[in-house]
Chain A
Amino acid sequence: MTDVVSSPAGVIDKPARRDIGIKRRYRAERRFRAYGIAALSFGLLFLALLLWSVVSKGYTAFQQTMITVPVEFSEQIIDKDNERATDPQKLMTANYPIVARNAVAKALGVAENDTAGLRAVNQMISNGVRGQLRDMVLANPQIIGTTQTVSLLAAGDIDSAFKGQIDLSVTEQNRKISDRQVGWMNQLVEAGALGKHFNTGIFVNGNSSRPEAAGVGVALIGSFYMMLIVLVLSLPIGVAASIYLEEFAPKNRLTDLIEVNINNLAAVPSIVYGLLGLAVFINFMELPRSASLVGGLVLTLMTLPTIIIATRAALKAVPPSIRAAALGLGASKMQTIFHHVLPLAMPGILTGTIIGLAHALGETAPLLLIGMVAFVANYPTTPMDPSTALPVQIYMWANEAERAFVERTSGAIIILLLFLIVMNVGAILLRRRFERRW
């Protein structure tokens, strides 16, 4: 036995406080926690920044500057030789921009022989007035020769200037609108002729090279067709595949392969699906390019794995007791699944489907490859017609150089995000309302 050092009188020394670095360790603890908070805030900060940057740039796109002036539908300009009864092309091709220009020039008091002035006035109104006035005249040829009060689309630059997006303090040469036009603009504002109106055009118009006349109407129809195709194809196929894999498939190498395969397909880059669509649907099966049918098929293949994974999870969540009860009462396996398990799994399946659809709605890359970047100004009537899609429209506008297109792009993004929010909130509500916990 070794000697135990003990103090006299048998009193054990109070051990000196060993320094176990408690302060340092607590500091490290606080630091670690702060890293976590910082990381989380960083992520949320950029979410906020992203949304703010889109909304702040884009909310003005829902208002459009209009010039409301009395327009004289002069017979002199539209149909000088009174040929409209014999030549139907006459009213189609008449020089409507001059009509609009004269109307605005008159309101501003620009002399008819002031060529430079008239040209400057012409720059203030959009090219879109051609179609606007033409449609008015074609709808009612009686208005030729009369004077009507019309709200004309202002040109993109005037629109931007009026919304304060063009810095008017820089020198005249360096900005897109001249001092004279600014003066006129203010003159029209004072007269109450120039003002902002709600922009229905952005929802209904087709694409246009002029930002003030461009809209996402065609893209919305195209996206709608594609979502319809995706829903009609991927929901039944996805549910059928999941039922087989989850309920019937024997556990063997083949089903294991299918399982690994589906998980991998969910992670294949979306652009690869575009290549597949190009090679198989367009090159091999010779379906038309730019058609929403092809887009829908490609997006279906892309969405299927997502839906299968969600459906299998939903089927798995139905407790075995339900199956046992149905089988015990004499139902066949097929009846058990279709009459009892599937209805109970339906909320989960639909939630997964909606989320899959939302992903497909925002997908751009594969659609670029199958030719949906085409400039389409006319509404598609069937899914076989050339069309475009909302995210592709955003991509096309993002590549435009003009300032006013930034606003349009952001506006289109807001529309896209609104659709996504509605779909996702729908999915959440569905889950909250119908989800059962066993």
Chain B
Amino acid sequence: MSTPLILLVLAIFAIVCYVVGTRRALAIAGGLSFRLHSRQGYYGAFVAICAIVPAAAVLVVWLVASPLYINSTIHDGFPAEVKAQSEAQQGLSFGMVNSLARGMDVLTLEEIDAVGANPAELRSALGAKGVPLAGDPEPWMVASAGDLNAMQKISNRVMTAIVLMVALAGAGLSYVRIAPRFRARNRVEKVILSALVLASSIAIVTTIGIVMSMLTEAGHFFGRVPAWEFFFGTVWDPRFAAAGAGAASDGQFGLIPLLAGTLYIGFVAMLVAVPVGLFSAIYMSEYASPRVRSIAKPLLEVLAGIPTIVYGFFALTSVGPFLRDISAQLHGLATGEYVNFIQAQSVLTAGFVMGIMLIPYVSSLSDDIITAVPRALRDGSLGLGATKSETIKKVVMPAALPGVVGALLMTASRAIGETMIVVLAAGVAARMQLNPFEPMTTVTVKIVSQLTGDLEFTSPQTLVAFALGITLFAITLCLNIYALFIVRKYREQYE
């Protein structure tokens, strides 16, 4: 049976178990449910859980383990001269055997007999059935493919039998345990609790997955390129293998220009977002009437809900050309010569648009923090005769400062990790310069450009993306943990 079919059978079996278990419990209690320790549904659920959980576990283990075993057996059966070949060659042969095996499933018995005598015809026969082969199969490959198919068939049959037997055994064993004093609810709740624990550990597993996967791939990269050349190199020039010859042409992978671009664009973005966001937050929390606030706050938060690709498109088609044209006009007015000194793709364009995107993050985070400053502080200052703005500047803001700084750090980590705006609006030239009107590039842009297109997971040109990724992850993680630390510490003061 195929795996989905087995799952379906298990699901139906579970429902049956539930119904049967519930009935049985009620019958034992003579139809009076108060004689049971638990409500009758729990007995049904207990039987169902005992039936499918072990069976599903067996299924998963089998599905993972059996291909590994079969593949290694097939591999051991390769002729000696094939085993002498390189790793990649063997991989190719193995791929051939695999697709042959898949193809031979499609062919009918007579067709297999027909081509069995002449393996050379197999390729065209399979091609007609829609199974392309990379090359002409050799006789030993056909034999291997036959073995593979046979083993898979046996494995599948054994698996189906074992899984169904485990399910039946589980159901039977739990069925006979049903008794009025049996604590079914406690058992079921224990299982539910372990499911809850499992679910909450996914967060940890994700983090470990991120760190492990990037560390391994970045480790491969640092095996090719020394770490100090990556972290302190000032030239980014990852020549693709086709451009040169030999290992010497791997190119240079200097992180510094990318990091400089990232920080520069992030700085410009913060230059826009911080004053605008902070003043909006102050106005909305201290001055605006509830009516204005109830309209302006959600509207400003719409900015946070717009996908970043839309901002990127806005920067690419509206802001960039606008800045370019206006700079040409300004230059023309000043010198009479209409030359644009702002490029359409530039640090300014990307930073400005990213700044707009960040406004709602700054404003809503700081709004919460400003509102959390106790009323008494304000009243005291106002009562001493300070104006509202003086109160804000001298009392409210200093009190809110740690929280605001935390909010700004979180916003900065967003600016550093932002991708789509810079991909479309910042340019791809990795340069170190200080002119905000020229294009620069960022870490995220390079991750995207190294990983889109044809990939081979062995070249440093693609592996460098993981080194960039772990750098990015580390930077944003530090910013966030520090920000969280500040915010938590501050929050404790007034609670």
Residues of A that sit less than 8 Å from B by CB: 25-26, 28-29, 31-33, 35-40, 42-44, 46-47, 49-50, 53-54, 57, 236-238, 240-245, 248-249, 257-258, 260-265, 267-273, 275-276, 278-280, 283-284, 301, 304-305, 308, 332, 334, 358-359, 361-365, 368-369, 373, 391, 394-395, 398-399, 406, 409-410, 413, 416-417, 420, 424
Contact A53 to B317, CB < 8 A, known contacts A47-B302, A267-B410, A369-B452: yes
Q: Does B165 contact A (CB under 8 A)?
A: no
Verify A373–B452 contact, CB threshold 8 A. yes
Contact A275 to B466, CB < 8 A, known contacts A36-B282, A264-B481: yes
Give every chain A residue within 8 A of B217 (Cβ-Cβ).
279
CB-contact partner of B296 in A25, A44, A284, A373, under 8 A: A44
Q: Give chain B interface residues in 330-376, CB to chain A under 8 Å.
A: 356, 359-360, 363
Verify B419–A409 contact, CB threshold 8 A. no
User: In the docked arrangement, what's the CA distance between A305 and B200, Å?
Assistant: 10
Q: Does B275 contact A (CB under 8 A)?
A: yes
**Interface-facing stretch out of B7-15, B108-116, B133-141, B201-209:** B201-209
CB-contact partner of B388 in A29, A365, A409, under 8 A: A29
Please give the distance in Å from A254's CB to the nearest CB on chain B.
Answer: 9
User: In the docked arrangement, what's the CA distance between A25 and B197, Å?
Assistant: 59
Q: Does B50 contact A (CB under 8 A)?
A: no
Closest to A302 in B: B206
Q: Does B189 contact A (CB under 8 A)?
A: yes
Please give the distance in Å from B486's CB to the nearest CB on chain A.
Answer: 13
Verify B196–A271 contact, CB threshold 8 A. no
5 shortest A-B CB distances, which residue pairs? Answer: A269-B417, A36-B283, A362-B307, A39-B279, A240-B199
Q: Does B75 contact A (CB under 8 A)?
A: no
Verify A248–B448 contact, CB threshold 8 A. no
Dominant secondary structure of chain B at its interface with chain A: helix
Contact A37 to B283, CB < 8 A, known contacts A248-B193, A334-B189, A416-B310: yes
Closest to B451 in A: A369
Please give the distance in Å from A45's CB to the nearest CB on chain B.
Answer: 10
Instruction: Using A37-B283, A241-B202, A264-B477 as known contacts, list a sample of 19 further A-B pairs with CB atoms less than 8 Å apart, ordered by residue number in A.
Output: A25-B387, A32-B389, A36-B279, A40-B279, A44-B300, A47-B300, A236-B199, A243-B196, A244-B196, A269-B473, A275-B213, A275-B466, A279-B466, A304-B202, A334-B192, A359-B305, A362-B307, A364-B307, A395-B424
User: In the docked arrangement, what's the CA distance between A308 and B200, Å?
Assistant: 9
20 A-B pairs whose Cβ atoms sit less than 8 Å apart in the complex? A33-B389, A36-B279, A40-B283, A43-B300, A54-B310, A240-B198, A241-B202, A245-B200, A258-B203, A264-B207, A264-B481, A269-B473, A270-B419, A271-B469, A275-B466, A276-B209, A362-B306, A363-B307, A364-B307, A413-B313
Bin the interface of chain B by size: 35 or more
Q: Which of A32, A271, A272 has the most CB of B within 10 A?
A: A271
Contact A424 to B305, CB < 8 A, known contacts A240-B199, A241-B203, A369-B451: yes
Contact A258 to B216, CB < 8 A, known contacts A50-B310, A275-B447: no
Please give the distance in Å from B221's CB to the nearest CB on chain A.
Answer: 12
Q: Give chain B interface residues in 168-223, CB to chain A under 8 Å.
A: 185, 189, 192-193, 195-204, 206-207, 209-210, 213-214, 216-217
Contact A334 to B193, CB < 8 A, known contacts A43-B359, A275-B447: yes
CB-contact partner of B203 in A262, A275, A358, A417, under 8 A: A262
Please give the distance in Å from A133's CB to the nearest CB on chain B.
Answer: 28
User: In the docked arrangement, what's the CA distance between A196 and B280, Å?
Assistant: 44
Verify A244–B197 contact, CB threshold 8 A. yes
Number of A-B contacts (CB under 8 A): 250
CB-contact partner of A394 in B193, B209, B216, B313, under 8 A: B313
Closest to B392 in A: A32
Q: Which of A35, A40, A237, A364 has the most CB of B within 10 A?
A: A40
CB-contact partner of A260 in B198, B216, B306, B484, under 8 A: B484
CB-contact partner of A53 in B314, B393, B418, under 8 A: B314
Verify A40–B296 contact, CB threshold 8 A. yes
Q: Does B152 contact A (CB under 8 A)?
A: no
User: In the docked arrangement, what's the CA distance between A273 and B444, Å?
Assistant: 12
User: In the docked arrangement, what's the CA distance between A371 and B178, Å?
Assistant: 53
Give every chain A residue within 8 A of B457 (Cβ-Cβ).
283
Verify B213–A409 contact, CB threshold 8 A. no
Verify A391–B309 contact, CB threshold 8 A. yes
Verify B309–A268 contact, CB threshold 8 A. no
Verify B388–A54 contact, CB threshold 8 A. no
Please give the distance in Å from B5's CB to the nearest CB on chain A.
Answer: 16
Q: Give chain B interface residues in 409-433, CB to chain A under 8 Å.
A: 410, 413-414, 416-420, 423-424
Verify A39–B416 contact, CB threshold 8 A. no
Verify B472–A248 contact, CB threshold 8 A. no
Q: Does B404 contact A (CB under 8 A)?
A: no
User: In the docked arrangement, what's the CA distance between A39 and B300, Å?
Assistant: 11
Give every chain A residue within 8 A of B197 (Cβ-Cβ).
244
Q: Does B103 contact A (CB under 8 A)?
A: no
Q: Does B144 contact A (CB under 8 A)?
A: no
Q: Does B316 contact A (CB under 8 A)?
A: yes
Contact with A along B432-470 (1 / 0, CB 8 A): 000000000000100110011000010000000110010
Verify B206–A265 contact, CB threshold 8 A. yes
Verify B307–A47 contact, CB threshold 8 A. no
User: In the docked arrangement, what's the CA distance between A420 and B185, Å?
Assistant: 43
Please give the distance in Å from A104's CB to the nearest CB on chain B.
Answer: 32
Verify A47–B309 contact, CB threshold 8 A. no
Q: Does B235 contact A (CB under 8 A)?
A: no
CB-contact partner of A271 in B278, B306, B417, B477, under 8 A: B417
Verify A269–B419 contact, CB threshold 8 A. yes
Verify A269–B416 contact, CB threshold 8 A. yes
User: In the docked arrangement, what's the CA distance between A273 and B473, Å?
Assistant: 10
Q: Does B476 contact A (CB under 8 A)?
A: yes
Please give the distance in Å from B280's CB to the nearest CB on chain A.
Answer: 5
Verify B276–A39 contact, CB threshold 8 A. yes
Please give the distance in Å from A141's CB to the nearest CB on chain B.
Answer: 26
Contact A244 to B200, CB < 8 A, known contacts A47-B300, A406-B317: yes
User: In the docked arrangement, what's the CA distance between A285 and B68, Å?
Assistant: 13
Verify A249–B200 contact, CB threshold 8 A. yes
Give every chain A residue within 8 A of B155 (Cβ-Cβ).
none
Q: Does B40 contact A (CB under 8 A)?
A: no
CB-contact partner of B210 in A49, A268, A416, under 8 A: A268
Closest to A392 in B: B309
Verify A271–B317 contact, CB threshold 8 A. no
Give every chain A residue within 8 A of B282 (Cβ-Cβ).
36
Verify B317–A275 contact, CB threshold 8 A. no
Q: Does B287 contact A (CB under 8 A)?
A: yes
Q: Does B156 contact A (CB under 8 A)?
A: no
Q: Which of B296, B410, B451, B466 has the most CB of A within 10 A?
A: B451
Verify A261–B280 contact, CB threshold 8 A. no
Give every chain A residue within 8 A of B126 (Cβ-Cβ).
none
Contact A260 to B204, CB < 8 A, known contacts A50-B306, A50-B311: no
Verify A241–B417 contact, CB threshold 8 A. no
Verify B363–A43 contact, CB threshold 8 A. yes
Closest to B417 in A: A269
Q: Does B480 contact A (CB under 8 A)?
A: yes
Give every chain A residue within 8 A of B121 (Cβ-Cβ).
none
Give every chain B residue within 8 A of A44 (Cβ-Cβ).
296, 299-300
User: In the docked arrangement, what's the CA distance between A260 and B482, Å?
Assistant: 11
Please give the distance in Å from A389's CB to the nearest CB on chain B.
Answer: 10
Verify B305–A358 contact, CB threshold 8 A. yes
Q: Does B308 contact A (CB under 8 A)?
A: yes
Verify A420–B283 contact, CB threshold 8 A. no
Closest to B198 in A: A240
CB-contact partner of B209 in A50, A269, A280, A358, under 8 A: A280
Verify B202–A364 contact, CB threshold 8 A. no
Q: Does B284 contact A (CB under 8 A)?
A: yes
Contact A278 to B203, CB < 8 A, known contacts A29-B387, A263-B484: no
User: In the docked arrangement, what's the CA distance between A263 and B358, Å?
Assistant: 19
Please give the distance in Å from A409's CB to the nearest CB on chain B.
Answer: 6
User: In the docked arrangement, what's the CA distance between A364 and B452, Å?
Assistant: 13
Please give the distance in Å from A71's CB to the nearest CB on chain B.
Answer: 35
CB-contact partner of A47 in B275, B299, B476, under 8 A: B299
